[in-house]
Amino acid sequence: MCGISGIYGISDVTKASGMVHLMNKSIAHRGPDDEGFYVEENIALGHRRLAILDLSPAGHQPMHSADDTLEIIFNGEVYNFLQIQKLIPEHTFKTKSDTEVILAAYKKWGKNCMQYFNGMFAFAIWDKVKKELFIARDRMGIKPVYYYQKDGVILFASEIRSILESGIVPRKINKDALTDYFTYQTVHAPATIVKDIYMLMPGHHATISSRGMSIEKWWSPKDNYSRASEGKSYQQVCDDIYNLLAESVELRLISDVPFGAFLSGGIDSSAVVGLMSRVQKQPVKTFTIVFDEEEFSEAKYARQVAELFKTDHHEFRLTPEDFLNDLPIAMSSLDHPSGDGPNSYIVSRITRQNGITMALSGLGGDELFAGYPVFNRTLQLNEKQWLWNMPKAIRQLAGTAYKTIKPGSTALKMMQLLELENGKLENTFPLSRQVGNPDVLKSLLASNYRSADEIKRILQQELGNSSLPVLSEVSVAEITTYMQNVLLRDTDQMSMAVALEVRVPFLDYKLVEYVLGVKDEYKKPIFPKKLLVDSLKGMLPDSIVHRKKMGFVFPWEVWLKSELKSLCESRIKALAQRSIVQGNVLLDMYDRFQKGDKNVRWLDIWLCVVLEDWLEKNSITE
């Protein structure tokens, strides 16, 4: 796990070298163990290293190929690198690192090498002979790559702030992304909150040369799901899933540094810990955040799992005061504004401070195994398509009446649902991920308000002409929106802020491809993630399987009116001075919130605070 940065198209070697050094310095937190550079005419590469495999100097990057025609900078892990080595017998490997394997694979197969890699990765390879740069990103989008291009110059890096530190990128806000941010607490790729800085999409690679930059898709869930489960019994499918998940966990245990696992006591993290315990000879090190308030704390469930699998368990008590003390650092660590980033920072910091450099996470289990309410809700809506055969006026009247009788966010979404043109997933799913009130947005944002819905655009692109089962379509919707643009982005930026590598076994592409092909009859969540639970062959007790889902719960509404009031007021007043919002509307919203108006939610205020704080810290103007 590392940080990468690079510049293509600047012939002045001295200038390019100075720029890439600045870019690399800004991501030093991602790789505290080593740094390296490669600079020649028209190319400058920078690397920060967090050593996980082959801790010796032989793993230094940039690394060159045996014939010295290629240079690589690499962030991530290719877990099956030892298997790939066997496919390249003509190459004499000099290191024990996966970086050298990527180089050898690219030398042998060119762009087709991507099909052999199983892991999380973002890398760039410079071909000294062809004068061509190749940049690639993993299938699921676990590791990021951002880029900027203008007048033949292309900058890329693991973080937006690295690109900004080059000194040549205008620090301008992307006004077209504001609706997206306030609606979904993020900006969906390829766009970012900064104008003209984009993200290379998951499962894509780019080729850069004097002819320009071309981007190609090499993998997508819709085009690569497996039909291997067709014709198999439920038990056979469960057996397959167990084997795939067990193999995924075992692959992700390869490491030359101390490692452990996040343990919440939920199904996903418990499954990962259980499978780890079956492979490791030593007790698995597990880490849990606990709270004094019993109704918020998952400690008892995590302890139960730890005792079951005889782990080396560590509990860390977190008070609201602790969280508030860490909040300024967490906000400063945000590479992109997010409504939910600080939680990831807290658990990462505590884990890293206890001597762990790599940790496994249960992220992805909900998305893959129908763990959210939207999965069942979509099945129900599919059975009620007759609703949209009713005249729209009647549906609107019914929705308005429901909202009047039962005011609140649920009633608002019901009203929005009934106003849709039809009940297709591309229309209904976005409502499940909305955190912003459309009416509030229309009054808050200035004239540049844009009504296009980014999640709807993504679903039309990712699910157009899909032959996937309905529940698998919802999985793809979750994976390509919330998971990739909130969960994975927050996990990467917050874990790497403290130099912690997080691995996600549920996102092994073989497992993802297989489960996406499983029919709805087998996957229907009669109870939460039934297919996953049955696949684990009784590994988890009922007390874990059927417990109430919990998570980080903090008194945000109270904080914004007390401990965080000073921060809020300063950021709200500053944001109100910007032309991107209607200042008088924002100030009125904040005033009503402070007075207890239930029509103004704390999250509406918090998103404004986070945005302004990020814009100020990164000197972003309009």
By annotation, the residues acting in catalysis are 2
CA dihedral (299, 305, 310, 311) positive or negative: negative
Distance CA 285, CA 268 (A): 16
CB atoms within 10 A of CB 41: 11
CB atoms within 10 A of CB 18: 15
Distance CA 35, CA 14 (A): 18
Using alpha carbons, list the distances in angstroms from residue 68 to 13, 29, 127.
Answer: 20, 29, 9
Nearest to 138 by CA among 188, 80, 212: 80
Q: Which residues contact 266 (CB under 8 A, 6 or more apart)?
A: 298, 301, 362, 544, 547, 549, 550
205: β partners: 136, 216
Strand arrangement of the beta sheet that strand 358-360 belongs to:
312-317, 285-290, 259-262, 358-360, 501-503
Pure H helices in 216-266 = 221-224, 234-251
Backbone φ, ψ for residue 7 (5° rounding): -135, 130
Instruction: Please report the DSSP string for 391-424 in residue order.
Output: -HHHHHHHHHHHHHHS-SHHHHHHHHHHTSS---
Instruction: Please report the DSSP string for 115-155 in residue order.
Output: GG--EEEEEEEEETTTTEEEEEE-TT--S--EEEEETTEEE
| Helix (H/G/I), strand (E/B), else coil: 261 | strand
